[in-house]
């Protein structure tokens, strides 16, 4: 809000560096991606025989890497089912192999920065220009964690 007011006083639009300079917004986006990624995983073809936890995956077979099995693992994250953007302020976990919402290595999503920017812009406008209240809902755990009523919210534009 402070950045928005400062930019408005000078008649300037917000730019790329402004959005990236909002560290807490970035931690909220990171935590959102950890808990509920757009894609649930990726298929990969084994280029050679490989053993994972005692299971043989023969050359040529396909394996599915399920991101949530990493992102919601208690061995990787304390209280993994709790939304906690502050966890990303403590250490640089974004660059390691336990946070993979955009893939990794040679197959890292080329739209990573654009996706984060779009999420930043959306959050900025959603928080600064609208009031919103979530209706009560219940969690359904099968086949994936989803809300029964799809987590409806009431949204109303803020009056200036």
Binding residues: 109
Torsion of CA 34, 103, 41, 81, to 10 degrees: -10
The DSSP line for 30-46 is: HHHHHHS-SS-EEEEE-
Dihedral pair phi/psi, residue 101, rounded to 5°: -65, -20
End-to-end Cα distance, the chain: 13
- Going by C-beta distance under 8 Å and a sequence separation of 6 or more, which residues neighbour residue 145? 139
Q: In this structure, what token pair is assigned to residue 51?
A: 């053993």
Annotated binding-site positions for heme: 109
> In angstroms, rounded to a whole number, what is the distance separating the alpha carbons of residues 79 and 59?
36
Query: What would you report as the CA-atom Rg of the chain, rounded to the nearest whole angstrom?
Result: 19
């Amino acid at each position: 809000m402070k950045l928005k007011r400062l930019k408005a006083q000078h008649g300037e639009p917000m730019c790329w560096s402004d959005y990236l300079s909002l560290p807490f917004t970035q931690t909220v986006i990171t935590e959102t991606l950890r808990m509920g990624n757009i894609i649930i995983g990726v298929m990969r073809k084994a280029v050679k025989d490989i053993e994972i936890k005692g299971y043989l995956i023969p050359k040529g077979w396909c394996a599915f890497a399920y991101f949530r099995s990493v992102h919601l693992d208690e061995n990787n994250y304390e209280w993994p089912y709790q939304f906690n953007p502050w966890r990303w302020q403590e250490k640089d976990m974004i660059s390691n192999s336990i946070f993979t919402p955009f893939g990794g290595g040679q197959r890292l999503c080329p739209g990573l920065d654009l996706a984060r920017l779009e999420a930043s812009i959306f959050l900025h406008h959603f928080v600064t220009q609208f009031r919103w209240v979530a209706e009560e809902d219940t969690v359904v755990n099968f086949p994936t964690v989803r809300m029964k009523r799809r987590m409806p919210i009431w949204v109303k534009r803020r009056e200036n």
